[in-house]
Structure 1
Amino acid sequence: MAHTVMPSSQELPRVTSEDLKRARDRLRVAQARRHRWGKLSLLWLLIGPGVLVMLGENDAPSMLSYAATGATYGPGFFLPFILVTFLMAFIVQEMTVRLAAATHRGHAELIFERFGPFWGAFALVDLALGNLMTLVTEFIGIRAGLGFFGVPPVLAVLLALAVIALVVLTRRYWTWERIGLALATFNLVFIPVAVLAHPDPGQLLAAFLTWQPVPRWDQTTLLLLLADIGATVTPWMLFFQQSASVDKGVTGQDIAHGRLDTALGALLAAVAGIATAIATSPLFAHHVNASSFAGADFARALLPYVGRVGASLFALGIVEAGLLAAITIASSSAYAFGEVTRQPHSLNRSWREGWPFYCVLLVAAGLAAAVVLIPNAPLEFIVLIVNVYAVLSMPPALVFLTVLVNDREIMGEQANGSLANVLTVTVTLLICLAGLVYGIATVFPGLLPS
Structure 2
Amino acid sequence: MTDLTTTAPAVPAPRTAVLDDAHAGDIHGALGTIRVDDTAPRKGLSAKLRTLLAIVGPGLIVMVGDNDAGAFGTYTQAGQNYGTGLLWTLLLLVPVLYVNQEMVLRLGAVTGVGHARLILERFGKFWGAFSVIDLFLLNALTLVTEFIGITLAVGYLGLPKVPGVLLAAAIVVAAASTGSFRRFERTAVLLCAGSLLLIPVYFLVHPGAGQMAHDFVVPGLPKNSQLSDVMLLIIAIVGTTVAPWQLFFQQSYVIDKRITPRFMRYEKADLWIGIAIVVIGAAAMMGFCAAAFAGHAESGHFTDAGDIAHGLERYAGRTAGVLFAVALLDASVIGAAAVSLSTAYAIGDVLGLKHSLHRGIKGAKGFYAVFAGLVLAAAVIVIIPGSPLGLLTEGVQTLAGVLLPSATVFLLLLCNDKAVLGPWVNGRAMNVFTSLVVAALVTLSVVLTAAVLFPDLTSGAILDIMGVCGVAGILALGYAETRRRRKGWAPAGPVDRTGKENWRMPPLERLPRPLVSTGRRVGLTALRTYLFAAMVLVVVRVVQLATGN
Which of the residues 449, 468, 482 maps onto 1:439? 449
Superposed, 1:38-437 pairs within 5 Å as 38-76=47-85, 78-215=86-223, 216-281=225-290, 282-289=292-299, 291-437=301-447
For 2:172 and 2:28, the matched residues in 1 are separated by: 26
Greater CA deviation, 215-224 or 145-154? 215-224
Maintained 8 Å contact 2:24/2:258? no
Going from structure 1 to structure 2, the CA distance change for 1:17 and 1:112 (only over 3 Å counts) comes to closer
For 2:261 and 2:445, the matched residues in 1 are separated by: 33
Q: How many residues align?
A: 435
For 2:87 and 2:275, the matched residues in 1 are separated by: 15
User: Alpha-carbon deviations, 1:376-423, whole Å to 9, x = none?
Assistant: 011111112112221332122111111101001110111001000011
For 1:361 and 1:268, the matched residues in 2 are separated by: 27
Going from structure 1 to structure 2, the CA distance change for 1:120 and 1:141 (only over 3 Å counts) comes to same
Going from structure 1 to structure 2, the CA distance change for 1:32 and 1:320 (only over 3 Å counts) comes to farther
Maintained 8 Å contact 1:138/1:325? yes
Going from structure 1 to structure 2, the CA distance change for 1:257 and 1:16 (only over 3 Å counts) comes to closer
For 1:272 and 1:421, the matched residues in 2 are separated by: 30
For 1:69 and 1:271, the matched residues in 2 are separated by: 15
- Structure 1 residues without counterparts, runs of 5 or longer: 1-14
Greater CA deviation, 338-347 or 283-292? 283-292
Q: Which residue matches 1:3? A: none
For 2:390 and 2:213, the matched residues in 1 are separated by: 37
Maintained 8 Å contact 1:60/1:318? yes
Maintained 8 Å contact 1:70/1:284? no
SS at 2:317 equivalent: helix
For 2:432 and 2:22, the matched residues in 1 are separated by: 42
One-letter amino acid of the counterpart of residue 110, structure 1: L
User: Alpha-carbon deviations, 1:308-356, whole Å to 9, x = none?
Assistant: 1111011111111111100000000100010010111111012221111
For 1:364 and 1:209, the matched residues in 2 are separated by: 40
Going from structure 1 to structure 2, the CA distance change for 1:35 and 1:349 (only over 3 Å counts) comes to farther
Shift of 1:16: 6.4
Shift of 1:209: 4.8
Going from structure 1 to structure 2, the CA distance change for 1:209 and 1:107 (only over 3 Å counts) comes to closer
For 1:362 and 1:349, the matched residues in 2 are separated by: 15
Greater CA deviation, 263-272 or 383-392? 383-392
For 1:195 and 1:398, the matched residues in 2 are separated by: 37
Maintained 8 Å contact 1:103/1:410? yes
SS at 2:107 equivalent: helix
For 1:92 and 1:305, the matched residues in 2 are separated by: 39
Shift of 1:235: 1.3
Shift of 1:167: 0.5
Shift of 1:115: 1.4
For 1:435 and 1:291, the matched residues in 2 are separated by: 25
Greater CA deviation, 131-140 or 67-76? 67-76
SS at 1:446 equivalent: coil
Provide the TM-score with structure 1 as the length reference.
0.92
Going from structure 1 to structure 2, the CA distance change for 1:29 and 1:82 (only over 3 Å counts) comes to farther
User: Alpha-carbon deviations, 1:222-267, whole Å to 9, x = none?
Assistant: 2211111122211110000000001111111111112111121111
For 2:150 and 2:115, the matched residues in 1 are separated by: 29
User: Relative contact order (alpha carbons < 8 A, sep ≥ 6): 1 or 2 greater?
Assistant: 1
Superposed, 1:2-21 pairs within 5 Å as none
For 1:305 and 1:290, the matched residues in 2 are separated by: 16
Provide the TM-score with structure 2 as the length reference.
0.76
Maintained 8 Å contact 1:139/1:157? yes
One-letter amino acid of the counterpart of residue 307, structure 1: G
For 1:51 and 1:32, the matched residues in 2 are separated by: 26
Maintained 8 Å contact 2:27/2:36? no
For 2:124 and 2:213, the matched residues in 1 are separated by: 51
For 1:318 and 1:32, the matched residues in 2 are separated by: 42
Greater CA deviation, 175-184 or 385-394? 385-394
Shift of 1:448: 2.6
SS at 2:116 equivalent: helix
For 1:291 and 1:437, the matched residues in 2 are separated by: 23
- Structure 2 residues without counterparts, runs of 5 or longer: 1-19, 461-549
Maintained 8 Å contact 1:161/1:365? yes
RMSD: 2.1
For 2:122 and 2:21, the matched residues in 1 are separated by: 27
Going from structure 1 to structure 2, the CA distance change for 1:140 and 1:33 (only over 3 Å counts) comes to farther
Identity %: 35
Shift of 1:33: 4.8
Shift of 1:428: 1.7
Greater CA deviation, 18-27 or 386-395? 18-27
One-letter amino acid of the counterpart of residue 166, structure 1: A
One-letter amino acid of the counterpart of residue 413, structure 2: V
For 2:110 and 2:39, the matched residues in 1 are separated by: 22
